[in-house]
Amino acid sequence: MALLARGEPPSTVVIFGGHLGPWSKSRVMAEGAWDTPFGPIEVDSILARELMKRVPVNQESPTHGEPDNTIEVQLPMIKHLFPKTKILPIWAPPTSQGLETARACGGLLRELGTRCLVLGSTDLTHYGPGYGFRPAGSGSRAESFVREVSDKAIIEKILEMRPEGIIEEALAKHNACCPGAAAAAVACGLELGAKKAQLVEYSTSLDVMRGEDFVGYAGIVLWS
């Protein structure tokens, strides 16, 4: 996140997230604010309502919405780094409709000339008995499988910047818990002129705490 703080701060941060399946529809929060330890962060209601005119999405309630840590976990960092920025939270399913929403958002941002930052929030492979997923057993074999096979495959799809490929890979291999968010961020970035992607960080929770259950994480940046 600190890498993205270089240069002029964005007026709006678009955050794609959501623990959604292929049966879900895109959702947008169009008003209100989210609390963070550094103070509230306001939703860009003007941008949200314009997006909702262009693409069919459900509206998330600012007072009775479902909690979603994929979006919430990003907010303290955003507020700390960009105290005056607004956010546009979008729940993106791993479907063509989710990608349609993302592309419409990218086109809108480009047309308006909005100074923006686009984030896609997802964890990678969830491995271990607690997650009901352990095709490589346990111990060093499990860690090697996650790092060198499972997470590597989904990271490569993201670096290829093919949104449909990200969704296909994750739904088939279970190596991203919110593939719609990652794919949507790439689709939106392409609309904004992104030309390449770079892996800047990779780790698993085993790097912090050993255990049978662990999760993979990656930081990938798209550049124009």
145-182 pLDDT, tens per residue? 999 999 999 999 999 999 999 999 999 999 999 999 99
Q: Is 14:105 a contact under the CB 8 Å cutoff?
A: yes
Q: Is 94:157 a contact under the CB 8 Å cutoff?
A: no
Q: Is 18:180 a contact under the CB 8 Å cutoff?
A: yes
The CATH number of the domain holding residue 63 is 3.40.830.10
> Global pTM?
0.94
At 57-112, the pLDDT tens digits run 999 987 766 778 899 999 999 999 999 999 999 999 999 999 999 999 999 999 99
Q: How confident is the model at residue 3 (pLDDT cuts 50, 70, 90)?
A: low
Tally of domains within the chain? 1
| Domain containing residue 102 | 2-223
Among residues 73, 68, 18, 14, the alpha carbon closest in space to that of 222 is found at 14
Q: Is 122:182 a contact under the CB 8 Å cutoff?
A: yes
Mapping DSSP to helix (H, G, I), strand (E, B) and coil, where does residue 49 land? helix
According to DSSP, residue 206 is labeled: G
